[in-house]
Amino acid sequence: MKKMPIPVVQRLTKYLVYVQDICKEDIVWVSSNEIAQALSLTSSTVRQDLSHLEISGISKRGYETAILQRVLCRELGADKTVNAVIVGAGNLGRALALHGEFGRRGFGICAIFDSNTDLIGEKIEGIEISSMEKLKEIVKKRKIDIGMIAVPASAAQSVADLLVSAGVKGLLNLTLSHVCPAGNAVVVDTRIIANLQELLYLMRAKDSIGSGVSARKT
Amino acid sequence: MKKMPIPVVQRLTKYLVYVQDICKEDIVWVSSNEIAQALSLTSSTVRQDLSHLEISGISKRGYETAILQRVLCRELGADKTVNAVIVGAGNLGRALALHGEFGRRGFGICAIFDSNTDLIGEKIEGIEISSMEKLKEIVKKRKIDIGMIAVPASAAQSVADLLVSAGVKGLLNLTLSHVCPAGNAVVVDTRIIANLQELLYLMRAKDSIGSGVSARKT
DNA sequence: TAGATTGTTAATCGATTAACAATC
DNA sequence: TAGATTGTTAATCGATTAACAATC
């Protein structure tokens, strides 16, 4: 029951989205095979993953969608609101603040910080941009758990350190550079640009566009 | 030399960012151990990964940063510009269009599409928002390779199908729902929200915040 | 009952780590 | 030369897949 492997956790987040969808369509039962089909997985993987949860399926029917949704929510912590702040009020930071999905998923953006003093006081979605000097105070006072780093790559590490010293427990790094997990905070990278490069590699691997480097060896 | 595992490709993108950084600082040599330290890896992993590349290090010195950078660029296709379009001119789509990092990394945003006719004609960073009806034509004419999906989750699959039928070879899915790879296009998910849930799980696993569900079993 | 689907164990597959000879 | 670092092989570790008895 304890300590799921990361790949399992990542798939659970997919199951949750899918199950929420079909719940809305009033589908009551779902089998491991249906989940697998919908998410391009195998039913074996799905059953293996779900075995980490406090849920039992029923032969010939599968899993009750409502229960599955509830259990997944609880396991992923999606049933509680978590307080987060965004550092960096550039395009990315703003998009995050404006992106309604966070709120819907239980992530409450409590504040936005930026080092550009011209921006201080401006409001985004009702959330005021504050100065970096106030970060520590606000994070402490409002019991912020998560900091999202949306600053230029070169500032990422110092912002991470500041957030952790202010008491944040988890960091979402939207930068493309590596952030060393200071203290015992956890860091997860979003890696949008790395994802694009990964995509490019997969595309070329598939039908060998480009490069044309014929593995000269011997 | 062919077909690297995905985890290796993902790390190569990190190496590239790091090596570009230290190149700018005029550092000429870097050892597997230094790379490992900087990116929270082991030197063994780094050497294993670099063995997939057409590069040789030198005992006692390591790898020449300039060469390493060049080889990584080539391997990841980061040395050529790739044409991409964004579908969805909401907050996320706009942030992507405005995010200079794409351009700097060789991803040229050629067009933005949206189904909201009120937005057609508006310009973002000099790129005009076009109607969905023009997608096929523009993708074909401008030889677009990559489509970024920044629409509501419910529309993701149909947008994906449209992009693929227009000739796109790769899809970056910014939605939180699963996109089935149509045709032989490749899909990579960014999963920002899933990343947040993963982060939350890791945070709780670390110092057991929340849940408090004591694995009742037997 | 017959057939479908779970839950779980065992087998396979793949990735990471360790170790060490080669080499600069 | 001595010591550091590569490149690579082998060992370990972990995740996915296959298989199948249990069960509804």
Task: Check B198 against A6: CB less than 8 A apart.
Answer: yes
Q: Which of residues 110-149 of A touch B (CB under 8 A)?
A: 145-146
pLDDT at B2: 65
Q: Which residue is listed with tokens 């952030």?
A: A179
pLDDT at A216: 27
Mean pLDDT, rounded, of chain A: 92
Based on the number of CB atoms within 10 Å of its own CB, is B100 exposed (0-12), middle (13-18) or buried (19 or more)? exposed
Q: Which residues in chain B are closer than 8 Å to A210, comparing Cβ atoms?
A: 77, 80
A164-216 confidence digits (pLDDT tens): 999 999 999 999 999 998 888 999 999 999 999 999 999 998 875 443 332 22
CB nearest to A9's CB, from B3, B170, B198 = B198
**For testing contact with chain A, the best of B11, B54, B187, B196 (most A CBs within 10 A):** B196
Q: Say if residues B181 and B197 touch (Cβ distance below 8 Å).
A: no
The type of residue at B178 is H
Lowest mean pLDDT among A171-175, B100-104, B193-197: B100-104
- Residues B145 and B169 sit within 8 Å (Cβ to Cβ): yes
Residue-wise pLDDT for A48-70, tens only, equals 999 999 999 999 999 999 999 99
Give pTM, 2 decimals. Answer: 0.92
Residues of A in contact with B157 (CB under 8 A): none
pLDDT at B130: 98
Q: Between β-strands B107-114 and B82-87, what pairing exists: parallel, antiparallel or unpaired? A: parallel
Best to test chain B binding among A203, A204, A213, A216 (most B CBs inside 10 Å) = A203
Burial class (CB in 10 A: 0-12, 13-18, 19+), A23: middle
Question: Which chain B residues in 151-170 lie under 8 Å from chain A, judged by CB atoms?
Answer: 153, 169-170
**DSSP strand E in chain B: where?**
29-30, 63-64, 82-87, 107-114, 123-124, 127-131, 146-149, 170-173, 186-189
In our burial notation (b when 16+ CB lie closer than 10 A, e otherwise), range B64-92 reads: bbeebbebbbbbbbbeeebbbbbbbbbbb
